[in-house]
Amino acid sequence: MTKKKILLTRRWPETVEQRLSADYDATLNTDDVPMGTEAIGAALNDYDAVCPTVSDKLPASMFTGNHRAQILGNFGVGFNHIDIAAATGAGLTVTNTPGVLTDCTADTALTLMLMLARRAGEGERELRAGSWTGWRPTHMMGTRLRGKVLGIVGMGRIGIATAKRAHAAFGMKIVYYNLVDVPEEHIADMGALRMDTVEDVLKASDVVSLHIPGGGDNTHLMNAERLALIGPDGMLINTARGDVIDQTALIAALKDGKIGGAGLDVFEGEPDVPAELIAMENTVLLPHLGSATRETREDMGNMVADNLDAFFAGKPVPNPVS
């Protein structure tokens, strides 16, 4: 039987590429050069499945006309880079990879909190530059996390995992905002307090961590007014999507001392990061490393493969996006 023809838009972990190459007529992006929107759109006519990543852009204009492709196997839990309504309207099934990156992304959120609170990025830059003159009582004093209030905006899998880590490791008090009810058994051991609005969480928190989808109503959720509510000693952590923060407003708030610092793993317009943000010492900036462990990236790739296998076998896909 002729193998289904599939395209991976970027390099994936080697074990996953081997699996897909064995089961499908797979085209791999061995140079790992980003594919443009036009090239991905053309691929919809040449392949039975296209497997994009969260760094690709798949707008509505891509899904006009008839396509050979039947399924988009997205490598990532987020899907705001795909116009889902247009894709499904054109008859494509869209899948994603939820759950498997929860722990690694929560670990990254805690990494950013610790680095920001203890000024670890600043300290490393000083030492590597040869500017450190030795220990002294007032040198580069940060703040401790123990006993501080952590505000979670978006209490889903990753938000809960982040809160549990912060509460267990540092005794942080947890407040949160979520659109839907969170099962009590998921948060009972933390004594987490649900608040009525995002604004209430921002005002109550020493550290705010964002765990919400990008796009739609969440675009620039953190605007100038909301950023100011965090306060001059407060810290903002983002491991969600870059567009949930108004980046221009964040730069202004950091400059003006309306917020104490920001730890960011994601940015608007990635991979471009404003020079003003890079120059600031009260930021910790990571290159979208949230799920970047070998184990998690392999799990994500295998989840895409599982979705493809189910789809082409005529079975329900495990992880549909609608």
In this structure, the strands spanning 320-321 and 93-95 are antiparallel
Phi, psi (rounded to 5 degrees) for 21? -70, -30
Alpha helices in 14-101 (DSSP H): 14-23, 37-43, 84-89
For tokens 């550290």, the residue is 207
Catalytic choice (241, 276, 281, 294) = 241
Is 268 a residue of the active site? no
DSSP per position, 70-114: -EEE-BSS--TTB-HHHHHHTT-EEE---STTHHHHHHHHHHHHH
Is 186 a residue of the active site? no
Catalytic choice (288, 295, 297, 298) = 288
Question: Do residues 175 and 208 lie in contact, with contact meaning Cβ atoms separated by under 8 Å?
Answer: no
Residue (of 200, 204, 207, 209) closest to 233 by Cα position: 207
Catalytic choice (126, 270, 276, 298) = 270
Q: Please list the residues that pair with 319 across neighbouring strands.
A: none
Positions of E strands within 12-163: 25-27, 49-51, 71-73, 93-95, 149-153
Question: Do residues 44 and 65 lie in contact, with contact meaning Cβ atoms separated by under 8 Å?
Answer: no
What does the alpha-carbon distance between residue 272 and residue 152 come to, in Å, rounded to a whole number?
27
Question: Do residues 23 and 5 lie in contact, with contact meaning Cβ atoms separated by under 8 Å?
Answer: no
Question: Do residues 12 and 30 lie in contact, with contact meaning Cβ atoms separated by under 8 Å?
Answer: no
Q: What is the rounded end-to-end Cα distance, in angstroms, of the chain?
A: 31
Is 122 a residue of the active site? no
Active-site annotation, residues = 241, 270, 288
